[in-house]
Structure 1
Amino acid sequence: MLRKCIVALIPFVCIFFLTSEKMSDDGRAGYTGSPGENDCTSCHGSFPVNTGGGSISLQNTGMPLNEYIAGQTYNLSVTVARSTNNLFGFAFEALTSLNDNAGTLNITDAAATQIKTRVVNAVTRRNVVHQLNAGAMSGSKTFNFSWTAPASGTGPVGFYFAGVAADGNGNDNNDYVYKSSITINEQVCTVPDQPSGISGNTAICSGSNHTYSVSPVAGATSYTWTNPSGWQGTSSTNTISLLAGNASGTLPVVANNACGSSQSSSVSLLVSNIQSAFSKTNVSCFGGSNGMATVNVSGGITPYTYVWADFPSNNTSTINNLPVGNYALSISDSLNCTTTTSVAISQPSVALTADAGLVQTICEGSSILLGGSQSASGGTSPYLYSWSPGSGLNSATVSNPLANPIASTNYSLLVTDNNGCTSTDNTTINVLPAAEVSISLMNDTLFASGGGPFQWYENGAILNGDTLPFVVPSLNQSYYVSTTYSNGCIIQSSAFFYSTISVSENDDELHIEIFPNPVRDHLTISIPAELLGSYFEIFNLSGQKVFEEILGSTTLRSNLNHLTHGFYIVRIKESGADKFFHKKLVKH
């Protein structure tokens, strides 16, 4: 295999290029001709270095002044050219002034380039060289890679680069070697100066948009703005537009370049963020207008201006005498920052209502509860009650007092709720006077006056079944009778003590005869002459007189056909005397 080798020795940086006519050989490290290395002219020595009209060149993008910035990565390209050649190779090496590796070589085109090393003077030097057969190209070939600059303080760096242009004749003769080198210096960085004062509004309203700027700073490539908390907006220039947040704060800015950042300049921003809270008094009584609202304001720049939508002439923080409703308020501060809010004034959902109860009727001597099932409703509980007149009531301050009026009475109820609201209502209790019921004695029978039904009592105990208007008493016993009238009142008679027969004679002594008994149509009454002119009376069991006739002869025949079937009481009373006769009669 034929090899053609060119080595270029230059004080600091070397590029080494190695190729064969058939490109059967990879590039090799350590033959760039840099300090301590050989070159390849012994293999490819047909022509002097850098002759034959060809060339080698380095494109160091980003380093127009052949200066590097520590730590920064640069894209590099080496081009080997000779118009009549079609095979090319190259090598590149970066060394410090102490001939150590300078920075880091990086492969960006793995198909055409690779990293190889060789120990030179106890230093493992790294080279970028061509891949096998990667240099086959008519007229010229460009090899691309990158380099990361070393740490700050490294100083000057030498780039050494060399290449071979082969003629393709199958041997090492007639190949041209090209080499070159440059020195790049470490850039001495100077950070930008501190920006001048920031211009823009410094007293602003929350949520408003504002622009801030500084004069351009020489050497600055960007700017960093740090927003106050809650502010929105970004910029890398000397001008920034921001949406103000709710909080005041400081807006700093620094100018930047590759060497670092300047000292910051800042401006204090005062934000008006009006906050409001209401204290209020709601309407106490349904339908009233004693509501009140006061707004308490903070966060803005005093003094404040108040505009109530419903009270344009009121420019204070308080409104009074309000009915139920929503009341809108606009608040402005000295910066003319404005916020709108509202307050709702409520009232009890239902009006206070007193209920004294229905008009009712009771019997004399009875008691009754006043008021409705709810003597007070609506408004705001608890309630206070006041009944008038209070006489005859077990309490005039409860919801449903027990009333015992002796006569028909109009009652008034005043209800006061927890808010001091009042409501009144009236009712009437009608008292039915008690009708009198009394007991009279006829012969051996006690009769009750008045309408029935009746109930007899003996010595205070009920006589079961004795519900007729009369009863046959036992000697030396106490009796009374009660009756229920159509109005529902129950009346009780005074007690009647039965001790002796109160009639002067019985029927045998008076020689009175009544027949037939039971009777169907006509009843015959036979009396002695001394009873002429007496009254002949018939009563039904309700105590009603259904027949009356004056006895004008000793024998009287009366037509009772008009009476209904049932039991009756016959009474004959001697005119002008207390003697009388009575007997039970059955009508068929």
Structure 2
Amino acid sequence: MKKSVLLFCTLLSAVWIVLSSNASGAGREQGTDRTGSPVSAGFCGECHGTGNYDPTLEIAILDGTTPVTAYAPGKKYTVQVKITAASGTPGGYGYQATVLEAKAQAQAGVLGAAPSGQRVITLGGRQYAEHTRRATSNVFEMPWTAPAAGTGTVNVYAAGLAVNGDGSTGNDSPVKNSLSLIEATSTGLSSNKILAAQIKVYPNPALEFARVEIEGNLENDQLWVNLLDVQGRILQSKSLQQPNQRSQIELDVKTLPKGQYWVQVSNGKRTKTVSLLK
């Protein structure tokens, strides 16, 4: 009897380590969305944490090698997720990503054949891209075919981990981000490039005010800062005349309902969008 109990506890411990470390992806191991999307069961940071890698996660939709902020219906692109550690040397990386319609949170477009070390799985009628094993590369790419015309704005949600590689959840550093992509109504929109600037929004989540910090060589361009809802409708719009290397602007969000929003910064030719939670 004691041997049976000991064996059960050993097996239970092994299963817990596999599930918590998600060495082969939370979708396959746990059968759940951990991207932090509106339909997710929770962010991977609820299990992983206390690490000191302080990573950032960047999402890009690539037309060849060019990042775009608008998609042409039915066109083939690449979803790129890049995890960068600000300190330390991680033992590996992992991720999970999905592309959803902003209106209905349904799957948007089709993820293609997965490269080595990655997979595409289906959960709740939605596709998810994720790692199959701990990766040494901090960049993940997956082919994606844009949805049909009339879909409207789509959102890419991704969560990532910079891990120490010991198989446990401690001392790992989770991170998440999202990207909004509008539907192109012309060829010009589909080739719109991302604004070459670093954009920070804080506090995030925000209660009353959100400060938008824009940093980069903007060549004294006039900038427009828009606050959008998840359907892509502009709720607030402000402009910056001849911005400096580092400029700031404040958005009033105290009257907005709780939820997800987008902060969009544009110089009229290039655009960059980051998420904001209320």
Could you say which TM-score interval applies, normalised by the shorter chain?
0.5 to 0.7
Q: Which residue of 1 aligns with 2:174?
A: 177
CA distance in 2, matches of 1:149, 1:165: 29
Q: Which residue of 2 aligns with 1:165?
A: 162
Amino acid of the structure 1 residue aligned with 2:97: F
Matches within 5 A, 1:182-581: 182-189=179-186
Given the alignment of the two structures, is residue 102 of structure 1 paired with residue 99 of structure 2, yes or no?
no
How much has 1:161 moved relative to structure 2? 1.0
- Which runs of 5 or more residues in structure 1 are unaligned? 6-17, 192-588
Contact 1:105 1:146 in 2 (8 A): yes
Selected match of 1:68 from 60, 63, 71:
71
Given the alignment of the two structures, is residue 125 of structure 1 paired with residue 129 of structure 2, yes or no?
no
CA distance in 2, matches of 1:78, 1:42: 21
**Shift in CA distance, 4/166, structure 1 to aligned 2, threshold 3 Å:** farther
Contact 2:95 2:158 in 1 (8 A): yes
CA distance in 2, matches of 1:117, 1:75: 19
Q: Which residue of 2 aligns with 1:32?
A: 35
**When the two structures are aligned, how many residues end up with a matched partner?**
164
Given the alignment of the two structures, is residue 87 of structure 1 paired with residue 88 of structure 2, yes or no?
no
Q: Which residue of 1 aligns with 2:56?
A: 55
How much has 1:184 moved relative to structure 2? 0.5
**Shift in CA distance, 85/54, structure 1 to aligned 2, threshold 3 Å:** same
CA-to-partner distance for each residue in 1:295-318, whole Å, 9 max, x for gaps? Answer: xxxxxxxxxxxxxxxxxxxxxxxx
Q: Which residue of 2 aligns with 1:421?
A: none
* 1:78 alignment partner, SS class: strand
Amino acid of the structure 2 residue aligned with 1:175: D
Q: Which residue of 2 aligns with 1:549?
A: none
Contact 1:72 1:149 in 2 (8 A): yes
Amino acid of the structure 1 residue aligned with 2:62: T
**Shift in CA distance, 170/189, structure 1 to aligned 2, threshold 3 Å:** closer
**Shift in CA distance, 4/184, structure 1 to aligned 2, threshold 3 Å:** farther
How much has 1:77 moved relative to structure 2? 1.9
Selected match of 1:149 from 126, 146, 166:
146
CA distance in 2, matches of 1:46, 1:4: 19
More helix by share: 2
CA RMSD, Structure 1 to Structure 2 (Å): 2.5
Contact 2:117 2:135 in 1 (8 A): no
Contact 1:30 1:117 in 2 (8 A): no
CA distance in 1, matches of 2:172, 2:59: 21
CA distance in 2, matches of 1:171, 1:148: 36
Percentage identity across paired residues of the two chains? 28
* 1:165 alignment partner, SS class: strand
Amino acid of the structure 1 residue aligned with 2:110: T
How much has 1:146 moved relative to structure 2? 1.0
How much has 1:46 moved relative to structure 2? 2.7
CA-to-partner distance for each residue in 1:6-48, whole Å, 9 max, x for gaps? Answer: xxxxxxxxxxxx844xx3x44414121101212222211336x
**Shift in CA distance, 164/190, structure 1 to aligned 2, threshold 3 Å:** closer
**Shift in CA distance, 75/190, structure 1 to aligned 2, threshold 3 Å:** closer
How much has 1:141 moved relative to structure 2? 2.2
CA distance in 2, matches of 1:136, 1:190: 36
CA distance in 1, matches of 2:160, 2:127: 17
* 1:41 alignment partner, SS class: helix
Contact 1:4 1:175 in 2 (8 A): no
How much has 1:65 moved relative to structure 2? 4.2
CA distance in 1, matches of 2:54, 2:18: 18
CA distance in 2, matches of 1:143, 1:86: 16
- Which runs of 5 or more residues in structure 2 are unaligned? 1-13, 189-278
CA distance in 2, matches of 1:43, 1:76: 26
How much has 1:78 moved relative to structure 2? 1.4
**Shift in CA distance, 66/4, structure 1 to aligned 2, threshold 3 Å:** farther
**Shift in CA distance, 65/76, structure 1 to aligned 2, threshold 3 Å:** closer
Contact 1:96 1:102 in 2 (8 A): yes
Contact 2:17 2:167 in 1 (8 A): no
CA-to-partner distance for each residue in 1:68-88, whole Å, 9 max, x for gaps? Answer: 000101022212233511221
Contact 1:4 1:40 in 2 (8 A): no
CA-to-partner distance for each residue in 1:376-426, whole Å, 9 max, x for gaps? Answer: xxxxxxxxxxxxxxxxxxxxxxxxxxxxxxxxxxxxxxxxxxxxxxxxxxx
Q: Which residue of 1 aligns with 2:118?
A: 113
**Shift in CA distance, 176/155, structure 1 to aligned 2, threshold 3 Å:** same
Q: Which residue of 1 aligns with 2:276?
A: none
Selected match of 2:46 from 24, 42, 47:
42
How much has 1:180 moved relative to structure 2? 0.6
* 1:75 alignment partner, SS class: strand
* 2:171 alignment partner, SS class: coil
Contact 1:113 1:128 in 2 (8 A): yes
Contact 2:34 2:159 in 1 (8 A): no
Amino acid of the structure 2 residue aligned with 1:150: P
Contact 1:4 1:19 in 2 (8 A): yes
How much has 1:107 moved relative to structure 2? 2.1
CA distance in 2, matches of 1:178, 1:39: 9
**Shift in CA distance, 60/19, structure 1 to aligned 2, threshold 3 Å:** farther
CA distance in 2, matches of 1:171, 1:19: 5
CA distance in 1, matches of 2:108, 2:100: 5
Contact 1:100 1:125 in 2 (8 A): yes
* 2:126 alignment partner, SS class: strand
With normalisation by structure 2, the TM-score equals 0.53
Contact 2:34 2:43 in 1 (8 A): yes
How much has 1:144 moved relative to structure 2? 1.7
